[in-house]
Amino acid sequence: MTATRGLEGVVATTSSVSSIIDDTLTYVGYDIDDLTENASFEEIIYLLWHLRLPNKTELAELKKQLAKEAAVPQEIIEHFKSYPLNNVHPPMAALRTAISLLGLTDSEADVMNPEANYRKAIRLQAKVPGIVAAFSRIRKGLDPVEPKEEYGIAENFLYTLNGEDPSPIEVEAFNKALILHADHELNASTFTARVCVATLSDIYSGITAAIGALKGPLHGGANEAVMKMLTEIGEVENAEPYIRSKMEKKEKVMGFGHRVYKHGDPRAKHLKEMSKRLTNLTGESKWYDMSIRVEEIVTSEKKLPPNVDFYSASVYHSLGIDHDLFTPIFAVSRMSGWIAHILEQYDNNRLIRPRAEYTGPDKQTFVPIDERA
């Protein structure tokens, strides 16, 4: 047996949910460009879970189910209120704990038939936006905002986060961001979720495990790191010396390159366009201009194109979202993909148990403790 570090290039399972072939991302065979320009996030949820697009009646029913389950349980609200009132609590740790707590409030948590798992899927997808928004407000000493039944997920999240109705362009931008982050084949958090539920653990355990994987800066935290970099740069004229200094020190410039894509992340261009529109709308085009300059330098010097995280940073900043909420927002979207893969794993399960190439010492003999040096 020979190990492959990071399982790079290893095909671990079959899946009908999404694919990355020749730098093209598809959800159930639909090109991500087509879906981003034409679909709502709710349509993507249905597509990933049912492996087909909904008709009008099916979409209306899904929206109705999601709206019915959107309220955040009081147990989670009280849990967040028990935190000391400051901004130091890591939002991803809070989200991870909240999802685990959500499982404790669900009487069907350990009921494993397909119907119960689908009901739990609805609850998870419906509640996670409100959980993130409620945490954000409570840590600032603000009361949570109840979602509006007539709003979709994108509009409701911005409304419950900021307490005011978002503009149409803000809803459009966030809807596109949700679609673009919804699934991405066997990324680290999705694989973690599948490994967890392959033991026939419950869906809440699978999602909690996935959030733990997403929390790492090499996965979900990249766009927050990008915004930190842009903030440090400050102005467009500072971009070139800042980036060249980083490259001279051989420091990583976050938001560029990808393990799977060789010629560019197909999702990046959509967020690049939304960054341009939003920063212009807010009168802070410097964030977009800085991003463009950084992209020019890195792609010229390193031949690394931007990935989806690079322009999502300035998009989320322009929507008035706290920087440390960028990764929890990733989870709001990726919940749809995690659930799709979990349901697929349950449907055709086999315990995931790889082997390891042993590299330790060989043929050792036990020495009694009194004889050891």
For the domain made up of 222-318, give the CATH fold: Cytochrome p450-Terp; domain 2 (1.10.230)
Are 198 and 351 in contact by the 8 Å Cβ rule? The answer is yes
Q: Where are the domains of the chain?
A: 15-166+182-218+324-347, 222-318
Which CATH number does 15-166+182-218+324-347 carry? 1.10.580.10
Q: Considering the candidates 183, 265, 309, 324, report the single residue annotated as catalytic.
A: 309
DSSP code, position 306: B
CA distance 96 to 110: 19
Q: What is the pTM of this model?
A: 0.94
Catalytic status, residue 309: yes
Q: Considering the candidates 258, 270, 317, 341, report the single residue annotated as catalytic.
A: 258
- Strand locations in the chain (E): 18-21, 24-27, 30-31
Q: How far is CA 33 from the centre of its chain?
A: 19
Note the maximum CA span of the chain: 77
> Tens-digit pLDDT profile for the chain (373 aa)?
788 888 988 899 999 999 999 989 999 999 999 999 999 999 999 999 999 999 999 999 999 999 999 999 999 999 999 988 766 779 999 999 999 999 999 999 999 999 999 999 999 999 999 999 999 999 999 999 999 999 999 999 999 999 999 999 999 999 999 999 999 999 999 999 999 999 999 999 999 999 999 998 888 888 899 999 999 999 999 999 999 999 999 998 988 988 788 788 999 999 999 999 999 999 999 999 999 999 999 999 989 999 988 999 999 999 999 999 999 999 999 999 999 999 999 999 999 999 999 999 999 999 999 999 9
Compute φ and ψ for 24, nearest 5 degrees: -115, 125
CA distance 205 to 110: 10
Residue with tokens 């980083």: 246
Catalytic status, residue 323: no
User: In this structure, are strands 18-21 and 30-31 parallel, antiparallel, or unpaired?
Assistant: unpaired
